Structure 1
Amino acid sequence: MDNYIDAHIHLDKYSDIDLEKMFHKLPFKLSLVTVSSDLNSCKRNLALAEIYPFVKPAFGFHPEQVLPNDHDISDLFSWIKIHTEQMAAIGEVGLPYYLRPKGSKIPGGYIELLEEFIKLAKKQDKPIVLHAIYDDAQIVCNLLEKHSIKKAHFHWFKGDTAAASRLISNGYYISFTPDIVYEKEIQGLVRDYPLDKLMAETDGPWEFEGPFKNKPTHPSMMAHSISALAELKQISFTSALKKLYDNTKSFYNID
């Protein structure tokens, strides 16, 4: 039986019924890294990990939303510290690219909050899962380098050659979604990125276009996206699948 790891999914956004359907009679062995958006999201993801042992939770605050107040931030960090042993990583954290008008400056507070998460990841010796695309990636790299962070995962990364080159030189990982099947930008990026620093994800329940249009996002979609990767890298599907599995298993310390 093939082994898959979905390196980035929001399981907390699926209903219990949807999850039962998702995990019913899977034709492959599956593990998932489920990222969190706020404290309630962290708590649900932890509860899901206790039900499904192949679910590995990451705890953080998604940046594409209004910042919490100081009290809520304090509660979130306190909760994460209590549950450090149960988390696979800090995440999803990063900077708000889509929330702000294109070309505008990052609103106050977001960079500072991200730096606190980076320091926490460093202190707890955990990987960090990042939402940082295009020009924001360079800002995030500055922070990661400042704190000597080695295990960084830029999920669904998009960016120019300079940003990609900096990620590569630092040994950072990126992951691709099912849009690799139909997006030329992603195909070009992944073609040039080192295979040993790649992972596959779905970012579910985010929905996709192309052959996935109007279909609920499911980890099984990774088979299609990994096939696209194998073609881009000119290797066999089996080789691509195994390498992505090994990369993700090692990065997240998945049993």
Structure 2
Amino acid sequence: MHKEPEKSKSKFGLIGKNIAYSFSKAHFTAKFENEHLPYSYENFDIDTIDQFPEILKQNDTIVGLNVTIPYKEQIIPYLDELNKTASKIGAVNTIKFHPSGKTEGFNTDYYGFKKSIEPYLKSNHKKALILGTGGASKAIAYALKKLKIRFDYVSRNAHPDAKYLYTDLTEDIINKHQIIINCTPIGTHPKVNECPDIPYDGITKEHLLYDLIYNPIQTKFLMCGELLGATTCNGSKMLEYQAEKAWDIWTK
């Protein structure tokens, strides 16, 4: 059983793949140093999710974990329980270890996204396109429902949730969806010259383009939107808000 550690030895961390440049490690390490908190934060970079139990075996002082691409959905069967919101979303990005040893999954992505996009929303922003169908996109969809914004998914391949393939998209479809949200890793450092394959000429100054990517700060996707007069927003504020929420969950 995963035992409750002494406070002075408590460890937090991130589960993911290719996460050397992750936001979370830098964010929480700085927080612990600045606030003189006796914790550490470690990246657990794993090739497959079935390595997760081994991490727990080797690190019995873990009290909280973040989860990132590509394991936000795959982690669920390894957890003892899910918070109600995470269960509705179907994806987990935060794990709390209870004193009993039980693991509980939460989703703070939706909170971070909702709080970060709200200042940009205007009355014409009634329909959204979600690019991608992975774990991150599920949290975005949940937040859009809460904001009463209709949305359609776009996918590379046929997917039960996706109304459109990228090859289906036209300038007219883009024009009618005045929020476009990139939930794919396309354009992340180091492949900064890549962007989602959509008909950018359908974008106008009425559009809001939101990219979950935060490295680089301005992706090619956002640059293309900006050139056409659209409002743009990257994922850095979302990350800060979701991290704050995760901290609340771990420490409450």
TM over 0.5: no
The structure in which a higher percent of residues are helix is 1
Larger Cα-atom Rg: 2
Q: Which has the higher strand share?
A: 2
Query: TM-score w.r.t. structure 1 length?
Result: 0.34
